[in-house]
């Protein structure tokens, strides 16, 4: 990965950011008690997915980037737990469930593919300058 590239070019980051904004929009409509008990935790975990991908992207070494992807994965599974609770408690509008389900189904594979790509980059020998 070219470290001079823009994080917005990274599809997995864009997907995670869009998902966290979706969760934010849903939770804004909840009452005080729902926001305080589930909403804050759910939004923080959802925001943490894209934040960890971004932080890893900004790191100099691939292995550091991989570690932050693992943190993003942990946040993803925390989101899944909070979503189960929110769905059980009828807090998620029916019309938003397909968008949520699509992200939940696709994101782990996308993240694992990105991690595998980073591992491959980390294990490949550095490119030597032409004059050596």
Asked whether residue 131 is assigned to any structural domain, the reply reads: no
pLDDT in tens, 16-68: 999 999 999 999 999 999 999 999 999 999 999 999 999 999 998 999 999 99
Say how many domains are in the chain.
Answer: 1
Asked whether residue 87 is assigned to any structural domain, the reply reads: yes
CATH number at residue 98: 1.20.1440.60
CA–CA distance, 24 with 17 (Å, rounded to integer): 11
What is the CA 93 to chain-centroid distance, rounded?
22
pLDDT at 2 exceeding the cut of 60: no
Q: Where residue 125 falls among pLDDT bands split at 50, 70, 90? A: confident
Asked whether residue 75 is assigned to any structural domain, the reply reads: yes
Asked whether residue 21 is assigned to any structural domain, the reply reads: yes
CA–CA distance, 103 with 100 (Å, rounded to integer): 5
The domain in which residue 62 lies consists of 8-123
The model scores a pTM over 0.85: yes
Asked whether residue 118 is assigned to any structural domain, the reply reads: yes
Asked whether residue 3 is assigned to any structural domain, the reply reads: no
The pLDDT, as a whole number, for residue 129 is 56
């Amino acid at each position: 990965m070219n470290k001079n590239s823009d994080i917005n070019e990274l599809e997995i980051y864009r997907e995670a950011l869009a998902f966290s904004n979706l969760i934010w929009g849903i939770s804004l409509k909840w009452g005080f008690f729902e926001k305080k008990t589930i909403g804050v935790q759910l939004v923080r975990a959802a925001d943490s997915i894209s934040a960890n991908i971004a932080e890893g992207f900004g790191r100099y070494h691939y292995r550091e980037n991989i570690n932050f992807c693992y943190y993003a994965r942990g946040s993803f599974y925390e989101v899944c737990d909070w979503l189960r609770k929110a769905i059980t408690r009828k807090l998620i509008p029916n019309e938003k469930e397909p968008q949520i389900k699509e992200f939940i189904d696709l994101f782990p594979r996308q993240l694992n593919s990105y991690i595998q790509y980073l591992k491959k980059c980390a294990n490949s020998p550095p490119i030597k300058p032409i004059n050596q």
